[in-house]
């Protein structure tokens, strides 16, 4: 049989199916969170929408202003972008009178990188331009390693990484939890400068404990919310709102280091409804099984070489 293009594709496809048939549909074992991992707890019921966190983020990460209105008087981004790493967005329904109410109410939501426990962006990056720190758990970006493929954008279930399309030498932009400030014994600027304690920084285990404590409180009960850091002595004394009965990020997508509490359903606030297994756990299991020992590429390479050999022989004849 001549190894023409059609026959080669048949052989390649058959080889792929044969390899895939032995691939388990189960996900690999989930990544574990480091006991030293740090993160943020955001409580939408405490947020007043002042956007100080946005300004602090831009100042301490040296990000430019972004205009969406014609007068160009304010930094007023409408979404995350190559110029905006952190944004406060608004949910509103009906009359929009009651704060933290799904019906005829409103709620704020703070969007930035989730710093997933098992990040799909890190798994998808072919050149390890995105890495997860084994101790802090922060997902950081190396501009010198990046080739601009934007696979991270496609892989992220939260649509976080943004590409600088307007730059001659573009980069991927995302929150890195202000990890450059840790050496100065400081932490994320959005938390440090939040006046109400809506965003607090700390060890992820401490943040989870704090979030669970709040969920156990009764609506209307007064509580001392820590400000800036979860272990801070400075507090904001205020009544407790009626929470949704879960901590977003505790389990979603394998867990995240950015945790959220809210009075409005998270899907209404624009957060995806994910199961407890990360996308990376599924994709890596299939990919690593197919390419184990370079079997898949080996079959394709052999087929290409054979096709080239047959084609050369025909020309010589």
Rounded mean pLDDT of 27-39?
89
Average the pLDDT over each of 88-102, 134-148, 266-280, 294-308 and give the range with the smallest value.
Answer: 294-308
The residue-averaged pLDDT of 274-282 equals 87
The yes-or-no verdict on residue 307 having pLDDT over 90 is no
Asked if the model's pLDDT at residue 295 lies above 80, the reply is: no
Would you state the pLDDT for residue 232? Answer: 98
Report the CATH number of the 38-276 domain: 3.30.70.20
Task: Tell me the mean pLDDT in the region 185-190.
Answer: 97
In the chain, CATH 3.30.70.20 covers 38-276
Q: Which pLDDT belongs to residue 31?
A: 84
Average pLDDT, the chain: 88
pLDDT band at 5 (very low <50, low <70, confident <90, very high): very low
Query: Residue 137's pLDDT is what?
Result: 98
What's the pLDDT score for residue 260?
Answer: 99
CA 113 centroid distance within chain: 4
Residues in the chain: 317
Task: Give the pLDDT mean for 190-209.
Answer: 99
Secondary structure, 3-state, 130-191: EEECCCCCCEEECCCCCCCCCHHHHHCCCCCCEECCCCCCCCEECCCCCHHHHHHCCCCHHH
Mean pLDDT of 216-229: 98
Integer-rounded Cα Rg, in Å, for the chain is 24
DSSP string for residues in 199-243 = EEEEEHHHHHHHHHHHHTSPTT-EEEEE-SBTT-S-EEEEEPP--
Give the Å distances, CA to CA, from 108 to 51, 92, 96, 166, 254: 10, 9, 12, 29, 25
pTM: 0.83
Q: Which long-range contacts (CB under 8 A, 24 or more apart) does 98-106 make?
A: 99/45, 99/241, 99/263, 100/44, 100/45, 100/241, 100/242, 100/262, 100/263, 100/264, 101/263, 101/264, 102/263, 102/264, 102/265, 102/268, 105/264
Residue given tokens 């939408």 in the structure block: 44
Position of tokens 């010589």?
316
Query: What does the pLDDT read at residue 1?
Result: 47
pLDDT band for position 181 (50/70/90)?
very high
CA–CA distance, 83 with 74 (Å, rounded to integer): 14
pLDDT tens per residue, range 62-110: 999 998 877 777 788 999 999 999 999 999 999 999 999 999 999 999 9
The residues with which 75 forms a beta bridge, in sequence order, are none
Predicted confidence (pLDDT) at residue 290 exceeds the cutoff of 70: no
pLDDT for res 303: 74
What is the spatial distance between Cα 212 and Cα 307, in angstroms, rounded to a whole number? 62
pLDDT, tens only, 107-162: 999 999 999 999 999 999 999 999 999 999 999 999 999 999 999 999 999 999 99
Are 207 and 230 in contact, with CB atoms under 8 Å apart? yes
CA distance from start to end of the chain: 17
Average pLDDT, integer, range 247-255: 97
Please say if the pLDDT value at position 287 is more than 60. Answer: no
Question: What is the pLDDT at residue 19?
Answer: 46
Kindly list the distances between the CA atom of residue 209 and the CA atoms of 97, 116, 129, 250, in Å, as whole numbers in the listed order: 31, 18, 33, 11
Q: What percent of the chain has pLDDT over 70?
A: 84
């Amino acid at each position: 049989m001549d190894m023409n293009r059609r026959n080669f594709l048949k052989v390649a496809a058959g080889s792929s199916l044969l390899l895939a048939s032995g691939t388990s549909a189960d996900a690999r074992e989930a990544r574990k969170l480091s006991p030293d991992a740090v993160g943020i707890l955001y409580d939408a019921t405490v947020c007043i929408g002042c956007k100080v966190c946005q300004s602090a983020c831009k100042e301490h990460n040296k990000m430019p202003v972004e205009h969406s209105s014609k007068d160009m008087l304010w930094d007023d981004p409408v979404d995350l972008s190559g110029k905006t790493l952190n944004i406060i967005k608004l949910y509103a329904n009906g009359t929009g009178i009651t704060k933290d109410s799904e019906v005829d109410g409103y709620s704020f939501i703070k969007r930035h990188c989730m710093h997933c426990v098992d990040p799909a962006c890190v798994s998808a990056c072919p050149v390890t331009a995105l890495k997860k720190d084994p101790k802090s758990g922060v997902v950081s970006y190396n501009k010198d390693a990046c080739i601009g493929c934007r696979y991270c954008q496609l892989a992220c279930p939260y649509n976080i990484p943004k590409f600088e399309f307007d730059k001659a030498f573009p980069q991927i932009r995302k929150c890195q939890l202000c990890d450059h400030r840790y050496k100065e014994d400081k932490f994320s600027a959005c938390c440090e400068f939040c006046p109400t304690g809506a965003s607090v920084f700390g060890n992820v285990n401490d943040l989870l404990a704090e979030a669970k404590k709040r969920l156990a409180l009764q609506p209307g009960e007064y509580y001392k919310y820590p400000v800036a850091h979860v272990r801070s002595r400075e507090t904001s004394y205020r009544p407790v709102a009626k929470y949704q009965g879960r901590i977003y990020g505790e389990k979603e997508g394998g867990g995240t280091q950015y945790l959220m509490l809210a009075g409005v359903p998270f899907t209404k606030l624009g957060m995806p409804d994910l199961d407890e297994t990360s996308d990376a756990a599924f994709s890596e299991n299939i990919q690593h099984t197919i390419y184990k020992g370079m079997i898949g590429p080996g079959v394709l390479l052999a087929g290409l070489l054979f096709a080239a050999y047959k084609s050369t022989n025909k020309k010589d004849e």
